[in-house]
Amino acid sequence: MSPRVRLVLNASSGVLYARPRGRLTPELMLAPLAEVYRRSGANAFRLILWDLGGLSHDLDYSDLRLLTTRIAQVVVEWQLDARLAIVADTPLRFGISRQFQALLPEDIGIEVEVFSEVDQAREYLETPERRLRG
């Protein structure tokens, strides 16, 4: 299966829904951030939901470190303020997502929360008082 990301932008809530398919790579996970940057520019809200349910393989630790480093570089380079909700459909993916959350530097301008249900993640992102302001 070739890696792809299905992107859906909810215009009313401003949430970019991303469901990667295939094998998870740093490039595949960066696609939603690149799309938000392309569509909204530097001062817009950035609310991103990564749904990992379509993956055929999970990250190993070296891939996880590479993804974390790459995300941190992109967020700093593009000066993003973002809120990211990760939906992990298995205990393994939940644990990997929590490791990703812990490895990201706290001061780079992106908040990450991990959920096991899409509805919880959407609620987190769509609650107005939880939005980040650019």
Give the global pTM.
0.79
In the chain, pLDDT over 70 holds for what percent of residues?
82
Per the structure, the count of domains in the chain is 1
* More confident position, 97 or 133: 97
* More confident position, 35 or 62: 62
The CA-based angle 11-17-21, given to 5 degrees, is 145
The mean of the pLDDT values for the chain is 77
44, pLDDT greater than 60: no
- Alpha-carbon distance of 109 to 134, in angstroms, equals 10
Beta bridge partners of 9: 16
Closest CA relative to residue 5, chosen from 41, 67, 51: 51
The string of DSSP codes covering 24-84 is --HHHHHHHHHHHHHHH-TTS--EEEEEGGGEEE---HHHHHHHHHHHHHHHHHHT--EEE
Closest CA relative to residue 87, chosen from 63, 120, 56, 64: 120
Query: CATH number for the domain including 53?
Result: 3.30.750.24
Q: Summarize pLDDT for 69-107 with one digit per residue, the tens.
A: 888 887 788 777 778 899 998 898 898 889 989 988 888
- Alpha-carbon distance of 88 to 106, in angstroms, equals 21
- Alpha-carbon distance of 96 to 77, in angstroms, equals 25
Q: Is the dihedral of CA 89, 75, 44, 21 positive or negative?
A: negative
Domain that holds residue 113: 4-130
132, pLDDT greater than 60: no
